[in-house]
Structure 1
């Protein structure tokens, strides 16, 4: 199955009192590029998260956005006492007394007025966000969103593949037309040349059949397109095989399309036949459409 490089996936899960949301978007790119956006505390997990994406996506630009917010059930109770901050203030008060001989006591009102003693639910850290258990959680959530992304890429890839199969069938028909026309090129040239010489011959010069045959032989060799047609058919079949496989096909398809363009140009320049040239131009137009579609494949 061929995958498109364009897709979108998202997921969310609850852990440690937080709701973590994952959003993954991918677009066309010549190579593989992964951009991660997440809270600064989680940058230590960047490598493992990047590898998680790379296991599934081989080509394209992938933007991963991870956000966290405290679960509504934890924020519904209102302000929460920050015990570590209270202890820090009390310890600082004892040091002031000891070092500078200051007197006095912190009252309850004084303590509640200090910055950071009371926090709303959103700012309360229920569990350290860089503990080892977070890595497995982030990988799990990212896997879910990437799976959703792959489903979309697979659906679009199936549409692209179906369209490319139709266009390859059209190339195959054009190739068959060229194959049918190729043998007539020499015979038509021979008949036209003989007719032209007969019209020009006023009896002042003899008709040399041997030289005439040599001219036809040279022309036949110069306009022979058998090799180009054989390679063209091979490239069409290789494209069809790639589309039906399970490996990334974008770069290989791009190479084969370049090769088919080259063979088509050679056929057009060598054939010296109006109908063949027109078939070559039709094939080039179809190859350009295939190239645009194949550029979306992974």
Structure 2
């Protein structure tokens, strides 16, 4: 089963007076890259979170966002006096410059304004409960990855169908080339004899049949594409097996595409035939479509 490298997942869980929520967005990347956006005080969990994600995702560029909303009770709240005082002093200086003062010359500063500023109110339980929170966070991350992989699998199935469709196009074109191959030498022999007969009639000379046979033989050996056809068909079969039976064959598929393109180019150059050239163009067009799609396969 193929997995796309593009997807989105989200999950949340309410436990112990907290709402833990995780979002993951994924796009294609040749390697694994995870950017974690964690709340203040949770950075120590970054390595553990990455280990959970790596267990389920092999390639791709992922952005994970963790939010923890705590239902703070008064006994768990801590006013950070130094931070609040710093805010107050800065706001006081600014207020004096803007002159929004009362009759006594005191700046108008609301407590609600101060307490809503970052870091003004802390939580006495957060640092000591982080280890206890981890099982919940771990489970939410796993649930989120499950949602992500559901989307990736759905897109992967669509990719697999498109890949198989292009493989069928390539197989049909290759069959046409294989049918044309025996005619290539005969067509060359006909063209060669026609040209020789024309020259003989113009110059009234005799041709050595042995030389003609030798020339045709050299061309036949030089234009033999049977081995390339066999190898290309083998690549098509291997590609199909990877699509149908492997979970993360993206790198292998990319390599196989390079091999298919190489064999196709060799067929076109060796055959030196207009009909074969048309089929080669169709195969190369399908290969380019494969290349674009495989960039998003894990």
For normalisation by structure 1, the TM-score amounts to 0.82
Distance 2:75 2:165 in 1: 67
Where do 5+ consecutive residues of structure 1 fail to align?
87-114
The alignment partner of 2:160 has SS state of helix
Aligned with 2:197: secondary structure? Answer: helix
- Counterparts of 1:241-252 in structure 2, within 5 Å, are 241-252=241-252
Alpha-carbon distance in 2 for matches of 1:82, 1:12: 23
User: 1:17, 1:127 within 8 Å by CA — same for their partners in 2?
Assistant: no
Q: State the distance in 2 between where 1:38 and 1:45 align.
A: 9
User: Counterpart of 1:39?
Assistant: 39
Find the counterpart in structure 1 of residue 60 from structure 2. Answer: 60
Name the structure 1 match of 2:14: 14
Q: Distance in 2 between matches of 1:295 and 1:84?
A: 51
Shift in Å, 1:247 = 2.7
Contact persistence 2:4–2:297 (CA under 8 A): yes
Report the Cα distance in structure 2 between the residues aligned to 1:16 and 1:156, rounded to whole angstroms. Answer: 36
State the secondary structure of the residue aligned to 2:42: helix
CA distance in 2, matches of 1:138, 1:52: 11
Q: Are the aligned partners of 2:78 and 2:123 in contact in 1 as well (CA < 8 Å)?
A: no
Measured on the aligned residues, the alpha-carbon RMSD in Å equals 2.4
Cα distance 1:83–1:144, how it changes in 2: closer, same or farther (>3 A)? closer
Q: Deviations over 1:40-73 (max 9, x none)?
A: 31111111110100011001111110011224xx
**Structure 1 pair 69–82 and aligned structure 2 pair: CA distance change class (3 A):** closer
For normalisation by structure 2, the TM-score amounts to: 0.82
Between 195-204 and 277-286, the greater mean CA deviation after superposition: 195-204
Give the 3 Å change call, closer, same or farther, for CA 123–12 of structure 1 in structure 2. Answer: farther
Q: Could you say which residue in structure 2 is the equivalent of 1:104? A: none
Corresponding residue of 2:226: 226
Post-superposition Cα deviations, 1:116-145, rounded to whole Å, max 9, x if no partner, equal xxx89x946373255321221111110000
SS in 2 for 1:248: coil
2:115 is aligned with 1:127: no
Per-residue Cα deviation, 1:189-235 (whole angstroms, up to 9, x for no partner)? 10111122112213632111100011001111111111111110011
Aligned twin of 2:149: 150
Instruction: Give the secondary-structure state (helix, strand or coil) at the position aligned to 2:22.
Output: strand
**Aligned residue in 2 for 1:160:** 159
- 2-side partners of 1:31 and 1:179: how far apart? 39
Partner of 1:179: 178
Q: In 1, distance between residues paired with 2:285 and 2:132?
A: 56
CA distance in 2, matches of 1:41, 1:82: 16
Distance 2:197 2:257 in 1: 45
Say if 2:29 and 2:59, in contact at 8 Å, map to a contact too.
Answer: yes
The runs of at least 4 aligned residues of structure 1 exceeding 4 Å deviation read: 81-86
Aligned-partner SS, 2:126: coil
Residue 97 (structure 1) aligns with: none
Superposed displacement of residue 83, structure 1 = 7.6
Shift of 1:293: 1.0
Unpaired segments of 5 or more residues in structure 2?
81-110
- When residues 172 and 47 of structure 1 are mapped into structure 2, their CA distance, relative to the original with a 3 A threshold, is same
The answer to whether the Cα contact below 8 Å between 1:16 and 1:127 also exists between their aligned partners in 2 is no
* Equivalent in the alignment of 1:91: none
